[in-house]
Amino acid sequence: MENRPFGETRKLESALASLVKLKNRLDSEGRVEPDKLKSFMEIWKLLAGDQLDEMLADAEKAKQNLKHPSWKMRLAAISVLRERWRQYNELALDVERMASEDGHPQVRECALFTLACCFEGTNDRRIGKLLGGIVQNEKLPKAFRETAYNGLFRLRGMAALDSPMPGKFRFPEEVDWQFVESFFRLEKDPGKTAI
């Protein structure tokens, strides 16, 4: 994939990003069925190649790939750790750092989504302010801001049906800004950590 012409590589990146978003959406709705999971494994295989089997067999191998030079390996590692190993406590600090520092936009977006998963239902004050600040920051890419907005719903533990539906929601025009602001007005921190 690395030796493809630039335009073809961009199309593949876009297709992979769309598939990963679909997988994340289906999972957040509790709709990942075994046959669909097989197709998601195919996405991971496209991203990680021969190293996928190691990541699926050993969480530590997957964690090592969070620092891999290839954005595809980092993206696969985040997803495998979130979906296969569900190591939210161990993953939270890494994905928070990656969401702000990683050099590839798809990795940052996946890391941000995973950060929200790590704190799902906790109403964590610090993470809520972080996500809310991203939603409000007009200098950031629209897709990243929209991921943060969806993360706020996850942070509150709201059902997937309560969150905006990708493709049917206009960001930022239809953002519930009072909802976003509510994360800056939390009176007390529930004190919960990542799940």
- Determine the pLDDT at residue 186: 65
- Tell me how many domains the chain contains: 2
**Model pLDDT for residues 2-11, shown as the tens digit of each residue:** 444 445 555 5
Taking the whole predicted model, whether its pTM rises above 0.75 is answered as yes
Place of tokens 């289906």: 26
Q: DSSP letter for 84, please.
A: I
Q: Do 10 and 105 reside in the same domain of the chain? A: yes
Measured over the CA atoms of residue 170, residue 171, residue 173 and residue 177, the dihedral's sign is positive
Q: Do 149 and 80 reside in the same domain of the chain? A: no
Q: Find the domain containing 187 and state its range.
A: 120-195
Q: Do 142 and 96 reside in the same domain of the chain? A: no
- Determine the pLDDT at residue 168: 77
Which residues 6+ apart lie within 8 Å of 142 measured at CB?
171, 172
**Model pLDDT for residues 119-162, shown as the tens digit of each residue:** 999 999 999 999 999 999 999 999 999 999 999 999 999 866 67
Q: Do 154 and 81 reside in the same domain of the chain? A: no
Q: Cα–Cα distances in Å, from 41 out to 34, 35, 56, 75, 82?
A: 10, 10, 10, 13, 13
Torsion angles phi and psi, residue 106, rounded to 5? -70, -35
Q: Give residue 53's identity as a one-letter amino acid code.
A: D
Asked whether the beta carbons of 150 and 179 are under 8 A apart, the reply is no
Q: Give residue 130's identity as a one-letter amino acid code.
A: L
Q: Do 86 and 131 reside in the same domain of the chain? A: no
**Residue ending a domain, choose from 92, 118, 144:** 118
Burial 86-123 (b: 16+ CB within 10 A, else e): ebbeebbebbbebbeebebebbbbbbbbbbbbbbbebb
Residues shown for the chain: 195
Q: Give residue 68's identity as a one-letter amino acid code.
A: H
- Alpha-carbon distance 139 to 144, whole Å? 11
